[in-house]
């Protein structure tokens, strides 16, 4: 009853918005005990914004999990001969040059054996082979992120990828709600400058991809079409009111490009992994713009629904007003997934 509680802060340091979520294990239950969000206008001091974020959050824990994304990150899903985990780590080091667009000495890498066998190639399902996910990040980008966090007195206990954090957030939410986690499902999170896709099968990742389109592209499209400043266009996107039809028409070109890339990604993974992705869960406030979810569903022919990663997660009284949950929750998927690592701490 009096044992020390475990807490971790998940830091989603996006290009335009910084978000932090603290999750605390209270017995066997994960509880959201802290939250903060700070916008970073173009040209603003990100270091000062990070200080503001942590000050507003008033987090009890100094342990943090951060993520990396963008062009400095590479993820590959590969097949290798059956071997032990120790042999895998040795063998993959000699294979890195085949999968990286930059020098292997300039990256930090990790790999994980997956439960799913490689698809059948005529000799039974993945005969004699294992599926492996390889992740690598350029050292310069990683060290820069760690330096920023450590300068604020935080201790980074893990580094994750945005796409993988989505999977962790969904798993925590699904388990809390008593939902199955083994069915094929696609998680799509639309950030400001990037859209993350993570397809899960049997409860683990089997495909991930980053698309260089996001909410900022929608805002720019609204500003151009309706002849307004970016700040005004962003406010209209978030709360279109009676102008929802105008906003929907303004962003349709961005949605077409985004949905085309999402559809191609889903078709690729279905063919490669020999599975059917029938449901797509979308998060990130940008994809909640007027008509976006409906457009994605019609274009892909799949069930598409908004996903709030706070579903099933108990919120400590006084941390987030109930009326804000529906507005804030969809934008916190990455931060929640990072903080959810407290369950294994």
DSSP 260-310: HHHHHHHHHHHHHHT----EEEEESGGGGSTTHHHHHHHHHTSEEEE--TT
Based on the fold, state whether residues 103 and 160 are members of the same structural domain: no
Based on the fold, state whether residues 114 and 29 are members of the same structural domain: no
Residue 187 lies in a domain: no
List the Cα angle 253/170/164 in 5-degree steps.
Answer: 75
Residue 323 lies in a domain: yes
Contact 137, 71 (CB under 8 A): no
Tokens of 46: 């990100």
List the CATH number of the domain containing 295.
3.30.420.40
Tokens of 96: 């890195």
Chain centroid, CA 182 distance in Å: 19
CA distances from 85 to 81, 91, 113, 167, 276 (A): 12, 10, 7, 23, 29
Contact 253, 247 (CB under 8 A): no
Residues 60, 22: Cα–Cα separation, whole Å: 8
Contact 342, 6 (CB under 8 A): yes
Residue 197 lies in a domain: no
Residue 328 lies in a domain: yes
Domain final residue, candidates 138, 155, 170 = 138
pLDDT for residue 293: 86
Based on the number of CB atoms within 10 Å of its own CB, is 305 exposed (0-12), middle (13-18) or buried (19 or more)? exposed
Residue 198 lies in a domain: no
Residue 97 lies in a domain: yes
Based on the fold, state whether residues 218 and 151 are members of the same structural domain: no
Based on the fold, state whether residues 124 and 272 are members of the same structural domain: no
Averages of pLDDT over each 10 residues, the chain, 345 residues: 71 92 92 92 89 94 94 93 90 88 90 86 64 94 94 95 95 84 91 92 93 92 94 89 90 91 94 91 79 86 90 83 77 95 87
pLDDT for residue 287: 67
Based on the fold, state whether residues 275 and 223 are members of the same structural domain: yes
Based on the fold, state whether residues 82 and 19 are members of the same structural domain: no
User: What is the pTM assigned to this prediction?
Assistant: 0.92
Residues 79, 91: Cα–Cα separation, whole Å: 12
pLDDT for residue 320: 75
Based on the fold, state whether residues 220 and 336 are members of the same structural domain: no
Tokens of 317: 């009284």
Contact 68, 141 (CB under 8 A): yes
Structural domain count, the chain: 3
Indicate the DSSP class of residue 137.
E
Residues 345, 338: Cα–Cα separation, whole Å: 12
The helix, strand and coil proportions of the chain, stated in percent and rounded to the nearest 5, come to 40, 30, 30
Based on the fold, state whether residues 80 and 66 are members of the same structural domain: no
List the CATH number of the domain containing 124.
3.30.1490.300
The domain in which residue 52 lies consists of 6-70+141-179+308-344
Based on the fold, state whether residues 220 and 291 are members of the same structural domain: yes
pLDDT for residue 344: 84
Domain final residue, candidates 81, 113, 138 = 138
pLDDT for residue 339: 96
Based on the fold, state whether residues 318 and 217 are members of the same structural domain: no
Based on the fold, state whether residues 221 and 323 are members of the same structural domain: no
Residue 86 lies in a domain: yes
Tokens of 155: 């201790």
Based on the fold, state whether residues 62 and 171 are members of the same structural domain: yes
Residue 199 lies in a domain: no
CA distances from 314 to 107, 270, 301, 317 (A): 38, 35, 34, 9
Strand partners, 156: 64
């Amino acid at each position: 009853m009096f044992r020390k509680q475990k807490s971790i802060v998940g830091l989603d340091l996006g290009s335009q918005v910084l978000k932090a979520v603290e999750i605390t294990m209270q017995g066997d239950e994960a509880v959201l005990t802290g939250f903060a969000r700070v916008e970073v206008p173009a040209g603003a001091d990100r270091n000062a914004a990070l200080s503001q974020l942590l000050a507003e959050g008033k987090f009890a824990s100094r342990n943090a999990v951060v993520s990396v994304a963008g062009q400095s990150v590479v993820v590959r899903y590969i097949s290798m001969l059956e071997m032990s985990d120790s042999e895998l780590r040795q063998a993959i080091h000699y294979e890195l040059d085949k999968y990286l667009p930059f020098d292997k000495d300039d990256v930090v890498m990790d790999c994980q054996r997956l439960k799913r066998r490689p698809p059948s190639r005529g000799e039974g399902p993945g005969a004699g082979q294992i599926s492996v996910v390889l992740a690598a990040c350029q050292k310069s980008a990683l060290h820069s992120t760690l330096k920023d966090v450590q300068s604020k007195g935080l201790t980074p206990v893990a580094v994750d990828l945005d796409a993988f954090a989505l999977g962790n957030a969904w798993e925590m939410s699904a388990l809390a709600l008593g939902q199955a986690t083994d069915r094929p499902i696609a998680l799509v999170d639309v950030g400001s400058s990037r859209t993350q896709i993570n397809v899960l099968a049997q409860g683990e990742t089997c495909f991930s991809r980053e698309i260089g389109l996001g909410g900022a592209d929608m805002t720019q499209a609204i500003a151009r079409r309706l002849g307004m400043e970016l700040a005004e266009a962003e406010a209209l996107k978030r709360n279109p009111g009676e102008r929802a039809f105008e906003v929907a028409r303004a962003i349709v070109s961005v949605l077409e490009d985004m949905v085309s890339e999402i559809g191609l990604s889903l078709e690729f993974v279905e063919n490669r992994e020999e599975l059917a992705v029938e449901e797509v869960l979308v998060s990130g406030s940008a994809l909640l713009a007027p008509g976006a979810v409906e457009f994605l569903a019609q274009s892909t022919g799949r069930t598409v629904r908004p996903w709030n990663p706070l579903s099933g997660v108990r919120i400590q009284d006084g941390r987030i007003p109930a009326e804000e949950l529906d507005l804030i929750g969809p934008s916190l998927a990455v931060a929640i997934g990072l903080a959810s690592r407290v369950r294994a701490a």
